[in-house]
Structure formats: structure tokens, C-alpha cells
Amino acid sequence: MPRGARFIFENAFYHVFNRGINKNEIFLSEEDYAFFLKKLKKLLSKYDHSLYAYCLMPNHFHISIQTRKVPISKIMASLTTSYSMYLNKKYNHVGPVFQNRYKSVLIENDSYFLYLSKYIYLNPVKAGLVSDPLSYSYSSIREAIGQEPLYFLDKDIVRLIGETKGSQKEYERFILDGLSEDFSGTERLFEQEEAVVGSSGFATRSRQKYTRRKKR
């Protein structure tokens, strides 16, 4: 069966997710995390997009990016193909590394983006890996709240946080307040290959464009 068209817009926010096939671990050592992050950083120079949040978990990853001219599919194909080749060679593995295509959530605006970033950063806590999200080594949370200089994240993250939350300190509190939240509804987004988070009008426009592309 042919795969469906992606929700593709210029200057669009996406929350991207993928996990290992059969939920297998995809990061088995610190070197593996480092390779993935090195590739993630390199793509920021190769393609025209911005990174606003990431979290690498043992068997999956979450990334929040904003595209411009280069489509999300091209960026993700480059990232996951490169990592799959690395992992298979290193561990003498044959076959797919990731479970199907990546999942993507098209996000309407800053407030929805920040809500999903909270979910991203609390993943290690919800999974029982750490008790404090700021102590997790493989996420961009410390860059986002100003504890570390920006390296992976686009400088515009400070503006996005300021316009919605007022300050990076307020954003930190916003994330930590989520420790008591139930994210089961958010997790269901990643059961779909495509999803839209935003107003009903935004969702309708996105799906209309999706339908037109499928008919081509």
C-alpha cells in the first residue's frame, strides 16, 4: 500500500518521534547518543531549519523543529538513515533499526509548541530514568532554560519562551509543574503517523492540504 502524503508546510513547527523496531533500544552506549547528536547538529548547517527541543531516550527520540524550505521528510530521512547505518555497522546488525516511518505532529503556534516541549523534557522522569528532568544528560532542557549556552537550539527559542511564558525561569517552572500532569492524551498522538495540534481551523486547513496532495 502506498504511503500517505505528509503534512508539509514551509515555516512549520513539528514534533517528531520515532522508536526502535519492536521497541528495542536504539542507544546502547554514550557513544551512540553522541553520534546521533553530532548528526543532528550537522544537519542544522546542511539544511535550513531550526531545532527547539530534543530528548533521546534509550529506545526512542523526540525532536521539535521548525522547517523552512527543506521538507521535514528530507531532514528526518537523512538523520535516521545515517544513524541506522552507524548502528548496524557498529553492532553487526542487519535490518531496520526504527519502527516504520517517524511520527510527526504538526503544531500550530508557540503555545502548543511549548506544551509539547514540556512533554518532551519530562519523558525521562515519566520513564523512571531520573527524578529531576534537569539532570538528564540527553535532552536540551538546560539550554532551553538558560543553564547552558545555546548549542543545538536556535537562538529564537528565547523569544518564543519570552512571548509565551515571560522568562526562561517561568518556562522552567512551567515544565516542572508538569510532573503531576497526566500525558496519556499526548502519548496517543504518537500512535498515529500524522497528527495536528492546534485550533480546529488550523487542523481543517492542514487536512485539506493533505487531501489535495493525496489526490495528485
> What domains does the chain contain, in order, with CATH numbers?
13-215 (3.30.70.1290)
pLDDT band at 114 (very low <50, low <70, confident <90, very high): confident
For 197, list phi and psi in degrees, rounded to 5. -120, 120
**CA–CA distance, 153 with 94 (Å, rounded to integer):** 33
Give the DSSP H or E segment for 77.
helix 72-90
pLDDT at 206: 55
Is 114:65 a contact under the CB 8 Å cutoff?
no
Q: Is pTM beyond 0.85 here?
A: yes
- Measured CA to CA in angstroms, residue 102 lies from 90, 126, 136, 140 at distances of 22, 21, 23, 20
Contacts 24+ apart (CB under 8 A), 36-45: 36/61, 36/79, 36/83, 37/138, 37/152, 39/78, 39/79, 39/82, 39/83, 40/79, 40/152, 41/151, 41/152, 43/75, 43/78, 43/79, 44/152
- Residue 48: partners with Cβ closer than 8 Å, 6 or more residues away: 67, 68, 69, 70
Chain centre to alpha carbon of residue 195: 13
Radius of gyration of the chain (CA): 17
pLDDT tens-digit map of 152-163: 999 999 998 998
Cell of 188: 496517543
pLDDT at 210 > cutoff 60: no
pLDDT band at 105 (very low <50, low <70, confident <90, very high): confident
pLDDT tens-digit map of 30-56: 999 999 999 999 999 999 899 999 999
pLDDT at 2 > cutoff 50: no
